[in-house]
Structure 1
Amino acid sequence: MRRLFERHPLIARWFDRPHRSGEILHGRYEIIEELGMGSYGIAYEGRDLHTGRLVVVKQARQTKGEDGRRLLRREADVLARLRHPQIPMLHDLFVERGQPYLVMEYINGETVEDRIFKQEAKYTEQEAFRLLKDVLEIVRHVHAFGIVHRDLRIPNIIWRDGTVVIIDFGLACRIGEPVDFRDDDPLEKRLRRESHPRSDFYALGHFTLFLLYSAYEPTSDEEKSWEEELDLSLNARAILRKMLQLDPPYDNVDELLGDVDQLLAEHNETQSEAL
């Protein structure tokens, strides 16, 4: 049955029956709109009728059975443990009609994709690695609790009032926790979903490349690798190769942050000499 739902998402959506705008859950949380359906959960923008504040309400997908319910409870536990101003705060966890729901802080912001495509922002090497450093400072807090995020994609890194926020801990797990992969899972998925800090670094390597490509102007139609297309310093190239596991990867966030700090320091020194 699970394979049927994976092959036919519209059938799965009918079985999952997402809530509609105006529905009230737990006698308190009004659904405003659906934000998205992920692998194991459905997220909604909602309003807490007791406080008036906007919240995110997340439910486990019924088609995922106990796996979905287990992951939702784990996400709630992770958020309760982390408690960081740049990570959504857990507000509530409840069960209605046998299904668990979590309620967390609503993050009103924009992704770097919004900034690049809507505001035409362009990131230099220095700006891209400065933003990477900001994200890694939060990741260091997460890893210090023995947790790896495993889903640091562009939509899950948000700008709010000039501060970066990491959202969606639905796939977070303990470092070293056994992970089930299918035989046909591509290498990309395995690298992103490994229960090791390097899976977060791998995802952030692609995130950083996305930033750097915002300032890239192609000179031909020939398809080339990022190392050929992007004009990067040797240190930036070395950092990215380790993050993307093309070279022996970083084992911990402090090692990576040390290299990023050194890169930024060298940029500052070069700018000072130019003045």
Structure 2
Amino acid sequence: MIHLFQKPYREGTVVNGRYVIEKQLGEGSYGVTYVARDEQTTERVVLKQMKRTKRKKRRASFEREALILKQLDHPQIPKLYDSFETNNVPHLVMEYIEGDTIETLIFDKKQTYGEKEAFSLLSDVLPVIQYIHAKQIVHRDLRIPNIVFRDGIVYVLDFGLARFLHEQDEPFLTVEQRLRRAIDVKSDIYALGHFLLFLLYSSYEPMEEEEKSWEDELLLTEDARGVLRRMLQLDVPYASVEQLARDVAYVVQ
């Protein structure tokens, strides 16, 4: 009998005779992630366990994520250390980047970002995305939980939805899904537009109850507004991160 569901690993469980589970980090559609201690190196690592349901699709996603991480060698992207199967379930072992996600900084630590600070942080993220795109890879999940800030340096995590640019788009995507999930560099730029909006709204204090568009609510310079409109594909979209970076640098200066 094949068990379609498995309980998450408990604290102290030893996986593959080597990785000791310390705590669960999170759970996505394809897998469960944990912080674990590698008994061979004594390092803390991230262990990702594939869910058993929709096995064929999930396995393909796991294999692709491992392949993509092997292509990437950047100090601001976690390294893939190991991949293995136990009980017929694929696992990935990655570098653990300990720090605060932008989500934590904004919602838990009440960090706020004005226009200059928000665009400055975006300018720190862009070289990492430029590197990813140069490797013919698109991330497709650039949200505030997947960008970590540690000791003044940003890190880009979670390549579970990443794709090679030569792959075909999934069929039957809605307009919004296509904007976020298209296998195109523009989808990463669009996602970074929403990342930027999260930063900017961290310092926004509503003066009235009626909800308006970001263009009516946020007090931005004309240059900043123009960059955001292009990132969100409301005006002619940026064709590359290089184009975007030039305009962001102009706003930051």
TM-score per shorter chain, which class? over 0.9
Task: Name the CA distance, whole Å, in 1 between partners of 2:107 and 2:33.
Answer: 25
- How do 1:77-92 residues align onto structure 2 when only pairs under 5 Å count? 77-92=67-82
- Determine the structure 1 residue equivalent to 2:96: 106
Give, in angstroms, the shift of residue 119 of structure 1: 2.9
Give, in angstroms, the shift of residue 61 of structure 1: 1.3
Tell me, yes or no, if the aligned pair for 2:4 and 2:52 is still in contact at 8 Å: no
- Asked if 1:248 is matched to 2:236, the reply is yes
Give, in angstroms, the shift of residue 154 of structure 1: 0.7
The structure whose residues are more often helix, as a share, is 1
Tell me, yes or no, if the aligned pair for 1:151 and 1:172 is still in contact at 8 Å: yes
TM-score (norm 1): 0.87
Give, in angstroms, the shift of residue 14 of structure 1: 7.2
- Determine the structure 2 residue equivalent to 1:187: 175
Give the SS at the match of 1:121: coil
TM-score (norm 2): 0.95
Give, in angstroms, the shift of residue 180 of structure 1: 1.6
- Asked if 1:95 is matched to 2:62, the reply is no
Task: Name the CA distance, whole Å, in 2 between partners of 1:172 and 1:165.
Answer: 16
The amino acid that maps onto 2:242 is D
Structure 1 stretches of 4+ with a deviation exceeding 4 A read none
Matched residue count: 251
2:225 pairs, out of 227, 237, 244, with 237
Task: Name the CA distance, whole Å, in 2 between partners of 1:170 and 1:228.
Answer: 35
- How do 1:32-111 residues align onto structure 2 when only pairs under 5 Å count? 32-111=22-101
Tell me, yes or no, if the aligned pair for 1:143 and 1:197 is still in contact at 8 Å: yes
- Determine the structure 1 residue equivalent to 2:185: 197
Give, in angstroms, the shift of residue 186 of structure 1: 3.9
* 24-33 or 117-126, larger mean C-alpha shift: 117-126
- Determine the structure 2 residue equivalent to 1:228: 216
Give the SS at the match of 2:36: strand
The amino acid that maps onto 2:25 is L
- Determine the structure 2 residue equivalent to 1:259: 247
Give, in angstroms, the shift of residue 17 of structure 1: 2.9
CA deviation profile, 1:192-243 (whole Å, cap 9, x unmatched): 1110011111111011011111111111111110000001011111111111
Give, in angstroms, the shift of residue 16 of structure 1: 3.8
2:196 pairs, out of 205, 208, 211, with 208
Task: Name the CA distance, whole Å, in 1 between partners of 2:48 and 2:195.
Answer: 25
Give, in angstroms, the shift of residue 36 of structure 1: 1.4
CA deviation profile, 1:10-57 (whole Å, cap 9, x unmatched): xxx971432222221111011122211111111111110111111001
Give the SS at the match of 1:101: strand
Give the SS at the match of 1:35: strand
Task: Name the CA distance, whole Å, in 2 between partners of 1:38 and 1:187.
Answer: 23
Task: Name the CA distance, whole Å, in 2 between partners of 1:67 and 1:22.
Answer: 30
The amino acid that maps onto 1:29 is Y
Tell me, yes or no, if the aligned pair for 1:59 and 1:72 is still in contact at 8 Å: no
> Identity over aligned residues, as a percent?
51
Task: Name the CA distance, whole Å, in 2 between partners of 1:219 and 1:202.
Answer: 28
* 164-173 or 66-75, larger mean C-alpha shift: 66-75
Task: Name the CA distance, whole Å, in 1 between partners of 2:63 and 2:167.
Answer: 16
Give, in angstroms, the shift of residue 176 of structure 1: 4.0
Tell me, yes or no, if the aligned pair for 2:4 and 2:53 is still in contact at 8 Å: no
Task: Name the CA distance, whole Å, in 2 between partners of 1:116 and 1:74.
Answer: 32
Give, in angstroms, the shift of residue 60 of structure 1: 1.6
Task: Name the CA distance, whole Å, in 2 between partners of 1:28 and 1:151.
Answer: 30
Tell me, yes or no, if the aligned pair for 1:45 and 1:55 is still in contact at 8 Å: yes
Task: Name the CA distance, whole Å, in 2 between partners of 1:46 and 1:187.
Answer: 39
Task: Name the CA distance, whole Å, in 2 between partners of 1:192 and 1:16.
Answer: 31
Q: Which blocks of at least 5 consecutive residues in structure 1 are unaligned?
A: 1-12, 266-275
- Asked if 1:22 is matched to 2:42, the reply is no
